Amino acid sequence: MYETHTTTQQVGCFVFKSASKKRKRHIGVGDDDNGSDRFRICQKLWETVQMNTEVIQDQLNKKILDSLAEFIKKHGLGCSSDVWRQRASEIPTAALMLGVNVPDHAMTFRSLCNLLQDSVTPFVVSVHAKECAAVKLLIQKVLEQLMGSGVSVDEEKEDDTALLQKTPCTISALCQWYKTVTKKCTQVSPERKENLTNNDLPQSLPVVVIFKYFEAFNSQVLQDFILICSRYTQELPFVFIFGIATSPSAIQHRLPHSVSSLLCIEVFHSLSCTQHLASVFDKLILNSQFPLKLSSRVIQVLVGIFLYHDFSVQNFVKGLQFSMLEHFNSQPLSVLCCQKQEALLSAKTLSKQNVERIRHLPSFMRYVETQEPQEQVRLLTNDEHVKEVCQKLLKNLHKYHKNYYPVLQCLHSLTSSLPKFPLGKHIRELHVSCIEKNLWETEEYDSALQLLRILAKDELVAALRKCAEILKSANTKRMQNALQQLEDFIGRLETLEEDSSGNGVVSAKMEYQRTDLFQLQKTLLEKESRRTKRMNSFEVLRSQVIDFIDSLVREYLTPAEFQPLNEVCYYSSSGVLRQRLNVTPRTSIQAALSHPFYYLKNASLKTDAGTISSAAPDLCIVYKLHLECGRLINLYDWLEAYVTVMSAAEDQDTDSEECGQYDSLKHARFIQAVSEMEFLGFVKSTKQKTDHVARLTWGGC
């Protein structure tokens, strides 16, 4: 509503918003007074995740990359030896088994290239199948990368570039260039020569060609390239690296024996993607220093996408980063989701609006209900008191996480060696169970304790020592006290006399070795009667140890939702995450074609249900018309309906003779729209009727 007030001096226009049109606005990063702080924390956390992920992958790949470097060094030195002359036509080849998690391979190849160029040889080429559709293109790519980056002196780069422009793309030209470069390397200073060749002769530097995604290369291109290179092995010390995602048999499937016999193949296996995910999960998510926490449903969504889609750890990390963005964007109180000191400072300077938001948190409301009536009044009316209580609750939340993860790791180390893994094989499964419900109320936990209560002395001591190593890294007083009690139990177990702890076990083993059924029945009856007798000292001590572990679990592995203010650091919108990451392309395409208004933001496209806007794109009109047809669609009838809709856009009378007639332009637009429909997979041509197309999808959006 607009009202204009006119005076002799000026005209003012004032806007009054109607109260009936108020809408609930989504709170974003820029809509709140702490938006800049949230953005800063999110950006810092994003960089931390990215850096730690790369560090973890480098650590996991270090062993296999070092093995590849040694393999290339060995064959680079052997190029001038008698062994090389005996096998002059064979090319050393490393079959690098990387697994089916293809999105993660790019970082591995990048690390491999950097390692080889820094410590083995500057002549490293990395080629991709989409750039090498023919053998000439493959040779050209190899020459371009070598001649453009194979010279170490800056003044010589221009000469080599000119050489590349004049030289034909042949391996013989590469041999000539290689001799020229290695000859120039011998003329440099001793320090430069030593750094470049890694204490080897310059002539022994191998030429490494890395084939990314070996299965994607054309078989004939690979065969021709290998046959050509095998004729120059005495002049060029080639070394091939095949990046394979499936199995080593892919080489035999793509190369005939006459070609594969020219390769001296050695297989290198990288860690599996599940081991990689376990390392990322343990070191990144199950870490008290990582401020963002994930609920059980969010973890299940991310792990489910990993296991049932692409096995990509990089995509798992992207899902984690999206969760981070969504949490900081949708939760104004996420400004408290940071390190302890910064979080306490932010709690001390909370605005009145955020204090009110804290009062509406479900966990804080439950906390208020547990307090005395006078304290409840202060929490609901006094903002400064809420800030003080908030600081105390944040301290308790940080202490909870510092105690939670060590006990979780201890419990996993105790139960991961048990048969059938009652609490899960991976620690993330145990973590999901702990934050979802009370673990000690489950049947799996009872089964795990029963199995722990029958452990032998040596197995129990070994398991407790692993727990002690875990607790040593915890720096809280409670964990240190638990460590002292655990070490006391270990000492008492080690000082037990063999008669009191192992006599019964030895006699049982002696009896189990007999094959007499009568003796076996007698042994079982004795063991059954022994249960009612008094336990020996080892059994008593073992029972005390298990009770101590059980008390730690009940005290420190409580679900996170019981902690006040857990919403500030726990992201739980699994539905939003599944909708964004686990999308269905067909549904999205149908939604765009059925409702183009929501994508194009054009008011003329807004129509009622069941109607077609003549202003919509041709593809949308054709799509809506095909929904009214059956399994087979008559192209002429489809065209007539399309022309009728287009005539409405030209304001033609629907009853006139001109309506429904089409010209060549409308006909061409219709054919193009039908072709796009066929490309999207909604229709296809059929041999039943030449003037019909078959419909492939059913059901609207």
Annotate 469-531 with three-state secondary structure.
HHHHCCCCHHHHHHHHHHHHHHHHHHCCCHHHHHHHHHHHHHHHCCCCHHHHHHHHHHHHHHC
- Phi/psi-derived region of residue 584, left when phi > 0, alpha when psi is between -120 and 50, beta in every other case: beta
Structural domains counted in the chain: 3
Give the whole-number percent of the chain exceeding pLDDT 90: 42
pLDDT at 594 over 70: yes
DSSP 8-state secondary structure symbol assigned to residue 266: E
Tokens of 34: 């702490």
**What would you report as the CA-atom Rg of the chain, rounded to the nearest whole angstrom?**
36
The confidence score (pLDDT) of residue 653 equals 55
CA dist., res. 121 & res. 482, Å (int): 53
DSSP 8-state secondary structure symbol assigned to residue 272: P
Helix axes 313-330, 296-305, angle to 10 degrees: 150
Nearest-CA neighbor of 179 among 163, 190, 198, 165?
163
pLDDT at 295 over 60: yes
Helix axes 383-415, 443-452, angle to 10 degrees: 50
pLDDT at 527 over 50: yes
The confidence score (pLDDT) of residue 23 equals 41
Residue 240, classed as helix, strand or coil, is strand
Q: Do 619 and 519 sit in the same domain of this protein?
A: no
| Least confident residue range of 204-213, 392-401, 586-595, 647-656 | 647-656
Residue 247 maps to a domain: yes
pLDDT at 550 over 60: yes
CA dist., res. 223 & res. 360, Å (int): 69
Amino acid in the structure at residue 385: H
Residues contacting 292, CB < 8 A, separation 6+: 45, 323, 324, 327, 337, 569, 571
Helix/strand/coil (H, E, C) string of 242-263? Answer: EEECCCCHHHHHHCCHHHHCCE
The answer to whether the CB of 223 falls within 8 A of the CB of 255 is yes
Query: What predicted TM-score, i.e. pTM, was given to this entire model?
Result: 0.75
Residue 61 maps to a domain: no
Q: Do 249 and 378 sit in the same domain of this protein?
A: no
The answer to whether the CB of 311 falls within 8 A of the CB of 100 is yes
Nearest-CA neighbor of 389 among 407, 403, 370?
370
Q: Do 237 and 126 sit in the same domain of this protein?
A: yes
The confidence score (pLDDT) of residue 521 equals 67
CA dist., res. 646 & res. 654, Å (int): 11
Q: Mean pLDDT across the chain, nearest whole number? A: 81
Cβ-count burial 339-364 (b if 16+ within 10 Å, e if not): ebeebbebbeebeeebbebbeebebb
User: What backbone phi and psi angles, to 5 degrees, belong to 208?
Assistant: -95, 125
Residue that is written with structure tokens 């902690």 in the block: 563
Residue 293, classed as helix, strand or coil, is strand
Residue ending a domain, among 224, 251, 271, is 271
What is the full DSSP assignment across 122-141?
Answer: S-EEEE-GGG-SSHHHHHHH
CATH number for the domain that contains residue 220: 3.40.50.300
CA dist., res. 519 & res. 649, Å (int): 97
CA angle 380, 384, 387 (to 5 degrees): 85
Residues contacting 46, CB < 8 A, separation 6+: 321, 324, 325
Tokens of 652: 């033609």
The confidence score (pLDDT) of residue 336 equals 86
* Highest mean predicted confidence (pLDDT) among 393-402, 600-609, 610-619: 393-402
pLDDT at 349 over 90: no
The confidence score (pLDDT) of residue 699 equals 64
The answer to whether the CB of 237 falls within 8 A of the CB of 79 is yes
The confidence score (pLDDT) of residue 532 equals 54
Residue 2 maps to a domain: no
Q: Do 489 and 620 sit in the same domain of this protein?
A: no
pLDDT at 652 over 70: no
CA dist., res. 475 & res. 402, Å (int): 8
Beta-ladder partners of 92: 264
pLDDT at 38 over 60: yes
Local confidence band at 76 (pLDDT 50, 70, 90 cut-offs):
low
Residue 166 maps to a domain: no
Tokens of 348: 């001390």
Q: Do 317 and 339 sit in the same domain of this protein?
A: yes
Q: Do 284 and 382 sit in the same domain of this protein?
A: yes
Q: Do 364 and 389 sit in the same domain of this protein?
A: yes
What is the full DSSP assignment across 197-209?
Answer: HTTS-GGG--EEE
Local confidence band at 645 (pLDDT 50, 70, 90 cut-offs):
confident
The confidence score (pLDDT) of residue 486 equals 94
Q: Who has greater pLDDT, 15 or 238?
A: 238
The confidence score (pLDDT) of residue 524 equals 65
The answer to whether the CB of 401 falls within 8 A of the CB of 560 is no
Nearest-CA neighbor of 668 among 700, 692, 646?
646
Region 383-397: mean pLDDT is: 92
Region 306-321: mean pLDDT is: 90
Region 555-559: mean pLDDT is: 94
pLDDT at 409 over 90: yes
Residue ending a domain, among 271, 295, 318, is 271
CA angle 576, 579, 583 (to 5 degrees): 160
Print the domain residue range for 134. Answer: 77-148+204-271
CA dist., res. 256 & res. 409, Å (int): 51
Cβ-count burial 256-282 (b if 16+ within 10 Å, e if not): eeebeebbebeebebbebeebbbbbbb
- Across the chain, which distance is largest between two alpha carbons, in Å? 120
Residue 51 maps to a domain: no
Nearest-CA neighbor of 92 among 103, 109, 77?
77
CA dist., res. 218 & res. 129, Å (int): 8
Q: Do 255 and 382 sit in the same domain of this protein?
A: no
The answer to whether the CB of 273 falls within 8 A of the CB of 100 is yes
The confidence score (pLDDT) of residue 528 equals 61
Nearest-CA neighbor of 437 among 306, 296, 307?
296
* pLDDT tens sequence across 253-265: 999 999 999 998 9
Sheet (strand 238-244) strand order: 124-127, 207-211, 238-244, 91-97, 263-269
The confidence score (pLDDT) of residue 481 equals 93
Local confidence band at 184 (pLDDT 50, 70, 90 cut-offs):
low
Residue ending a domain, among 271, 292, 310, is 271
Residue 52 maps to a domain: no
Q: Do 454 and 531 sit in the same domain of this protein?
A: yes
Instruction: Measure Cα distances from 262 to 125, 224, 379 in Å.
Output: 20, 12, 80
Q: Do 267 and 367 sit in the same domain of this protein?
A: no
Residue 463 maps to a domain: yes
Q: Who has greater pLDDT, 364 or 514?
A: 364
The answer to whether the CB of 205 falls within 8 A of the CB of 197 is yes
Q: Do 266 and 288 sit in the same domain of this protein?
A: no
Q: Give 3-state DSSP helix, strand, coil % of the chain, rounded to 5.
A: 65, 10, 30
pLDDT at 10 over 70: no
Tokens of 185: 């390397």
pLDDT at 701 over 50: no
Q: Do 357 and 432 sit in the same domain of this protein?
A: yes
| Least confident residue range of 194-203, 364-373, 519-528 | 194-203
Q: How many CB atoms lie within 10 A of CB 238?
A: 23
Amino acid in the structure at residue 151: V
What is the full DSSP assignment across 39-73?
Answer: HHHHHHHHHHHHHHHHHHHHHHHHHHHHHHHHHHH
Region 264-285: mean pLDDT is: 90
| Least confident residue range of 78-82, 123-127, 339-343 | 78-82
Residue 64 maps to a domain: no
